[in-house]
Amino acid sequence: MLETLTLVKKDELILLPAFIYSSMIRKGVSFEDFLDLSKIKDQFSLEDLSLILYLNQNNNLVFQIQNENYLNSFWIKSDPDAFNKISALLNLYKGDSHLRLSDTTLFEDNQTTFEIKDNHSEVLFVVVYPQMFNSDTISINSKELISSVLKLLYGYNNYDIVARYPLFERYLVLL
């Protein structure tokens, strides 16, 4: 009997600030659990969850182009009431999100700008370190991140599909 291999279409990206990822590790929160707001709402502050949501809704801060936000669909589906509470705090970060996202005090010796975590069947998680937001190198950092994401996406999707992504178009502009 032959088994059929199914290629998973993996093109959903979720951004995680590095300090949240570190907290996930300490608390034993899996990537699967992270997508279920009802499982994590008591493990993180509303402000931290709001910052995560803000970063994903404004992912142009990282990619320098607005890419689709996938976190909303996961969190709304799992706990609409908590999602509404978190959404109500989004105004806290308008114009000041970079202050928390670029705070290097926790990662002073770490020069990493991002890590891609391919630990979930549907989603690529991108851990974003404060150095990513360095105003002198943001374009270079974005280009490196987009290039890394595209290389990974080519493993899951055909070239013609990846070429239609806004990230691919942005990568061409950055070349």
- The domain segmentation of the chain, as residue ranges, is 12-174
Average pLDDT, the chain: 85
Kindly state the average pLDDT of the residues 21-31.
94
pLDDT at 22: 93
pLDDT one-digit tens code per residue, 78-137: 999 999 999 999 888 777 776 778 776 777 777 888 999 987 778 889 999 988 888 788
Q: What are the two backbone dihedrals, phi and then psi, of residue 123, each rounded to the nearest 5 degrees? A: -125, 140
Residues 6+ apart with CB under 8 A from 133: 61, 98, 101, 102
How many Å separate Cα 73 from the centre of its chain? 14
Exposure of 84 in the CB half-sphere (CA atoms within 13 A): 3
pLDDT band at 23 (very low <50, low <70, confident <90, very high): very high
Give the whole-angstrom CA distance, residue 13 versus residue 36. Answer: 15
Residues of the chain above pLDDT 70, percent: 91
pLDDT one-digit tens code per residue, 32-60: 999 999 999 999 999 999 999 999 998 88
Give the whole-angstrom CA distance, residue 15 versus residue 48. Answer: 13
Three-class SS state of 64: coil
pLDDT at 172: 86
Give the whole-angstrom CA distance, residue 91 versus residue 102. Answer: 18
Does position 2 have pLDDT exceeding 80, yes or no?
A: no
Contact present, 20 and 48 (Cβ < 8 Å): yes
pLDDT at 5: 38
pLDDT band at 10 (very low <50, low <70, confident <90, very high): low
Four-CA torsion 82, 86, 88, 94, nearest 10 degrees:
-170
Model's pTM, two decimal places? 0.84
User: Which tokens sit at 130?
Assistant: 């404060």
Q: Residue 27's CB: how many other CB atoms inside 10 A?
A: 11
Residues 6+ apart with CB under 8 A from 16: 24, 34, 52, 125, 126, 127, 128
The more confident residue out of 137 and 8 is: 137
Q: Residue 6's CB: how many other CB atoms inside 10 A?
A: 6
